[in-house]
Structure 1
Amino acid sequence: MTSLTENWQAIEWPICLSEPPVLAQMSAGLHGHQSTDRFQLPTLWSLHFYRYRATLELAGQTFPIRPGFVGITPPNQPVLYHYEGPSPHLYAHFRLPSGSQPATGTIPLMQDLGTRFPLLYAQFEEVALAPHLPRWRREARLWELLCQLTERPAPQTSLTGHPAVSATIERIEQRLGEPLSIAQLAREAGVSYSYLGRLFQQQVGTSAIGYLRKRRIERAEHLLRESTLPIKSVAIAVGIPDLHLFNKTIRTALGASPRALRMSLEEDKRVE
């Protein structure tokens, strides 16, 4: 295997998004049943939202894959994956406008979405796991996500300055629905509870528990406003399965109960 490099943004693909993509397949996948897989789609682009650790070989270079990354490869591009174990992800295979239309931008082989990952993943998941939706709805969501991926913000170095902070953020984003404790996360990051708290305050501007609460509320608000999941399911998905506590948390943070938030959104849609 060639040496590992994190310079995945050095490889960028010209991409034309002047028209919507034509979707071939969109779903969840699980790789890692064998240690390596070689992929090459002769006529299709491939988009992956990664939730696992692995490496990817392309054009003689080896790149890391981490939870929170998103990757894209153009048609007829051979890629070799090396897995570390079960590798769940969401993916889309699609075509773009053919002919001589000029590129509207470029998109990197791989991006670390950081704090953007949970929202973009949730937006993609909502249509990827809903094959009953009209095809144009799924293509519209894919088109919007591709446009967002070509408009890359500056790296958020403040969130990843210390390895313990980046590792803890990664674990929180991966396991938001689990009963996490900051003491447990500190142990997993190899630092003390108090030191992790100081690092978060310095680099993120809030405590570690404050960051965890904020991410749970943001994910809950998105699911309440943008999905049809039952409120109980939303509470479980964001790691607050006690419905009474969930209602209290949302009311305190957002000024309305989960039911009121959803009803106000439904009323807004009827007005539109």
Structure 2
Amino acid sequence: METSLAWDVPLDKPPEIVNIGRNAHGYVASDRYRLKDLWSLHLYGYHGRLRLDGREFAIEPGMVGITPPGTLMEYRYVGLSVHLYAHFHLGAGPSQRVEALQRLGPRHDSIYARFYEGVGRFATEPRRVEARLWDLLWEVALLSRPDLPPEDELHPAVRLAMTTIERHLAEPLSVAEIAARANVSPSYLSRLFREAFGETVVATIRHRRLERAAYLLGRSSLPIKEIAIAVGLPDLQHFNKAMRTRYGASPREWRARESSSSPGSEIDHR
């Protein structure tokens, strides 16, 4: 029985979902298939066996699996076997080394809830669900990074601070305000962020604002001014400079580039 297998997963751009849902197998003892052009993500709720291109692994409830296009997947089931799944395209770009199968541990309930909600929303809000899946893929990727602390090992104040940042990106944010919501002093919060992420609170806010802006530019038809406001960078001159510094392109250039590389995107060149 194999214990480890990893893939290089490009996560610089959001996924383009083809199918997402909840499925049950086990009506027959085994199954095999290959997705020629699609990545797959599975959140397992059963015991079984999985062979990936001839390498066999044990499946347990609470495990997550990611598989690249063209991989032969062969399953052996023990009774009714239920899982959540997503099949999607990923664009070329910088990659993260991700284990093919991982135990989610205490993260399982949170990831399951967000994944399952995405299943229900995909028909009416596909872009929102793709953004959510992108976040989940990054979260799964970070499980394979021993140099970064897993979420359950982060200081509670860091988790509270990150929640505040994500929920209030469109608003002015100060380290003092975030620290107050996390029930610690600004200096202590800054120290915690450096220990956890190797950067300041201010740098984390800036990076999250620009990452969200890059996503909205590439995958929505919102005018550039509205995107700048939505991510808390309403000064267009500053927004333009920040995008060039981070991504080497102005907002307009980034939108044009993403439009040409993602034909299925909903883009308005404004």
User: Which residue in 2 is equivalent to 1:205?
Assistant: none
Equivalent residue in structure 2 for 1:114, among 81, 94, 105: 105
Once the 2 structures are TM-superposed, how far is the Cα of residue 130 of structure 1 from its aligned partner? 2.7
Amino acid in the other structure paired with 1:66? E
User: Which residue in 2 is equivalent to 1:38?
Assistant: 32
Amino acid in the other structure paired with 2:26? G
Equivalent residue in structure 2 for 1:14, among 8, 17, 23: 8
- The question of whether the paired residues in 1 share the 8 Å contact of 2:50 and 2:75 is answered with yes
Q: In percent, how many aligned pairs have the same letter?
A: 39
Partners in 2 of 1:80 and 1:130 — Cα distance?
Answer: 29
SS at match of 2:133: helix
SS at match of 1:124: helix
Amino acid in the other structure paired with 1:124? F
User: Which residue in 2 is equivalent to 1:69?
Assistant: 63
1:57 aligns with 2:57: no
- The question of whether the paired residues in 2 share the 8 Å contact of 1:32 and 1:84 is answered with yes
Partners in 1 of 2:81 and 2:97 — Cα distance?
Answer: 27
Q: Deviation digits for residues 214-259 of structure 1, max 9, x if unmatched? A: xxxxxxxxxxxxxxxxxxxxxxxxxxxxxxxxxxxxxxxxxxxxxx
Once the 2 structures are TM-superposed, how far is the Cα of residue 47 of structure 1 from its aligned partner? 0.4
Partners in 2 of 1:146 and 1:102 — Cα distance?
Answer: 14
SS at match of 2:87: strand
Once the 2 structures are TM-superposed, how far is the Cα of residue 109 of structure 1 from its aligned partner? 0.7
User: Which residue in 2 is equivalent to 1:169?
Assistant: none
Partners in 2 of 1:63 and 1:24 — Cα distance?
Answer: 26
SS at match of 1:151: helix
Partners in 2 of 1:116 and 1:31 — Cα distance?
Answer: 24
Aligned pairs for 1:203-214 (under 5 A) are: none
Aligned pairs for 1:1-272 (under 5 A) are: 4-5=1-2, 7=3, 10-98=4-92, 101-103=93-95, 105-152=96-143
Partners in 2 of 1:70 and 1:132 — Cα distance?
Answer: 24
Moved runs in structure 1, 4+ residues, more than 6 A?
none
Structure 1's unaligned 5+ residue stretches are: 155-271
For this pair of structures, how many residues does the alignment match? 147
- The question of whether the paired residues in 2 share the 8 Å contact of 1:49 and 1:121 is answered with yes
Task: Calculate the TM-score normalised by the size of structure 1.
Answer: 0.52
Once the 2 structures are TM-superposed, how far is the Cα of residue 59 of structure 1 from its aligned partner? 3.0
Q: Deviation digits for residues 47-82 of structure 1, max 9, x if unmatched? A: 000001100012332100000000010001001000
Once the 2 structures are TM-superposed, how far is the Cα of residue 39 of structure 1 from its aligned partner? 1.5
Once the 2 structures are TM-superposed, how far is the Cα of residue 131 of structure 1 from its aligned partner? 3.4
- The question of whether the paired residues in 1 share the 8 Å contact of 2:19 and 2:86 is answered with yes
User: Which residue in 2 is equivalent to 1:225?
Assistant: none
Structure 2's unaligned 5+ residue stretches are: 147-231, 233-270
Partners in 1 of 2:28 and 2:121 — Cα distance?
Answer: 28
Q: Deviation digits for residues 151-190 of structure 1, max 9, x if unmatched? A: 1176xxxxxxxxxxxxxxxxxxxxxxxxxxxxxxxxxxxx
Once the 2 structures are TM-superposed, how far is the Cα of residue 132 of structure 1 from its aligned partner? 3.5
CA RMSD of aligned residues (A): 1.8
Q: Deviation digits for residues 177-211 of structure 1, max 9, x if unmatched? A: xxxxxxxxxxxxxxxxxxxxxxxxxxxxxxxxxxx
SS at match of 1:82: strand
Task: Calculate the TM-score normalised by the size of structure 2.
Answer: 0.52
Q: Deviation digits for residues 10-67 of structure 1, max 9, x if unmatched? A: 3111011111111101111111110000020000001000001100012332100000
Amino acid in the other structure paired with 2:94? P
